A = this chain, B = another copy of it.
Amino acid sequence: MTNRMIAISELPKGELTQAHFTALDGDVPAAGDGEVLLRTILMSIDAANRSWMQGATYRDAVKAGDIMPTYAICEVMESKSPKLNKGDIVASESVWAEYVTRPAHKVQKLPDIRPLSNLMSVYGIAGKTAFHGLVNVAHPIAGETVLVSAAAGSVGGYVGQIAKALGCRVVGIAGGAEKCGWVVDTLGFDACADYREPGLFKALRAVCPDGVDVYFDNVGGAVLETALAVMNERGRISCCGAISQYDTDAPTGPRNLPGLVVVKRLRMEGFIVMDFAKQDATALRALQIWVNSGQIKVFEDIVEGLDSAPAALIGLLAGENKGKRMVRVGPDP
């Protein structure tokens, strides 16, 4: 039995390509004392993966030669810890590999929700990030206008649907007419502007006649600069990510920062989902209520096979996914 893995052969300068990755086959590792052997079922593919290659963030930087890190859902194949049993389904910091060993205390046992992919989308990082960043950072109120970038993406789609459930007017920003149509027709946003078309400022003005009270920013860069221009006084900006700035060596800052933050008395606040771990149960309960009532629709973008992981990440950075993207390495048990 071999263990297939994908390593970073070289750190990217500029755009990430297939050439930065290499596949290798090794032995299935053995669990040591207090450890578990895990079989990878699903791996999360996130824009943040690319930012880890730019240097230390909220985690250590990824280096050339490392097996690519990821967040994964796995089955316990063997346990040398009293905390976990063979057959348990767990979430863990992991790597792009079929099998890994992890200390049992660093692994989180998951509730019995099927399909398991829901634990990575609406009930996982994507849904929780959307909930905490919108509800606990930006505090939207029914009747306010909420603007969301990367609206067809894994997090943005839930942000908009949660904001609708809270009674807000919701406007998305996405790339291309097809995605914008999907955001409105399928996800139920009130409007969606195409950032690839010229005139984003005018387009946003037209679909946000009362301005924008909350902006949920997944992208940074030029789109953030334009969003700042349509914010209302005392608006709140929840800073979730800066996709536009990850796949480059020459980041550009919005020229109206901090000028418009002063003039409009805006609040910009960054967060990562782990900051709100204590409120996860509240978030999950709310998400389940909205999924059951049909107010939140769940869309997943599952790419098959470990070897597809590099292409899945490269494609995500180019904006090709709709809904939460993940790679299936093995079947649900």
* A contact set with B: CB distance below 8 Å: 51, 57-58, 217, 220, 224-225, 237, 239-242, 245, 251-272, 275
Which B residue sits closest to A253, measured CB to CB?
B253
What B residues does A261 contact at CB under 8 A? 239, 268-270
What B residues does A268 contact at CB under 8 A? 258, 261, 266-269
Pick the residue among B239, B258, B259, B262 that contacts A262 (CB under 8 A).
B239
Which B residue sits closest to A251, measured CB to CB?
B255
Pick the residue among B224, B241, B262, B272 that contacts A240 (CB under 8 A).
B262
- Give this chain's copy count: 2
What B residues does A58 contact at CB under 8 A? 263
Contact A225 B253 (CB under 8 A): yes
Contact B262 A242 (CB under 8 A): yes
**A259 with B272, Cβ < 8 A, contacts A252-B253, A253-B225, A253-B254 known:** no
- For the complex, give the distance between the alpha carbons of A6 and B272 in Å: 52
Contact A262 B267 (CB under 8 A): no
What B residues does A258 contact at CB under 8 A? 217, 220, 224, 237, 239, 242, 254, 268, 270
Which B residue sits closest to A219, measured CB to CB?
B258
What B residues does A259 contact at CB under 8 A? 51, 220, 242, 245, 251
What B residues does A263 contact at CB under 8 A? 51, 57-58, 270, 272
Contact B262 A266 (CB under 8 A): no
User: Could you list 20 further interchain pairs (A-B, Cβ under 8 angstroms) beyond the known A225-B253, A239-B262, A242-B259?
Assistant: A57-B263, A58-B263, A220-B258, A239-B261, A241-B262, A242-B262, A245-B259, A251-B256, A252-B255, A253-B254, A253-B255, A258-B270, A262-B270, A262-B271, A262-B272, A263-B272, A265-B272, A265-B275, A267-B268, A268-B268
19 pairs, CB–CB < 8 Å, chain A vs chain B: A217-B258, A220-B257, A220-B259, A239-B261, A240-B262, A242-B262, A245-B259, A251-B259, A254-B258, A258-B270, A261-B269, A262-B270, A262-B272, A265-B269, A265-B271, A266-B268, A266-B270, A267-B270, A268-B268
Which B residue sits closest to A263, measured CB to CB?
B57
**A270 with B264, Cβ < 8 A, contacts A252-B253, A255-B251, A255-B252 known:** yes
CB distance from A136 to the nearest CB of B (A): 12
CB distance from A236 to the nearest CB of B (A): 9
- For the complex, give the distance between the alpha carbons of A270 and B266 in Å: 5
* Those 7 A-B pairs whose CB atoms lie nearest each other, nearest first: A253-B253, A261-B270, A262-B270, A268-B268, A267-B269, A239-B258, A253-B255
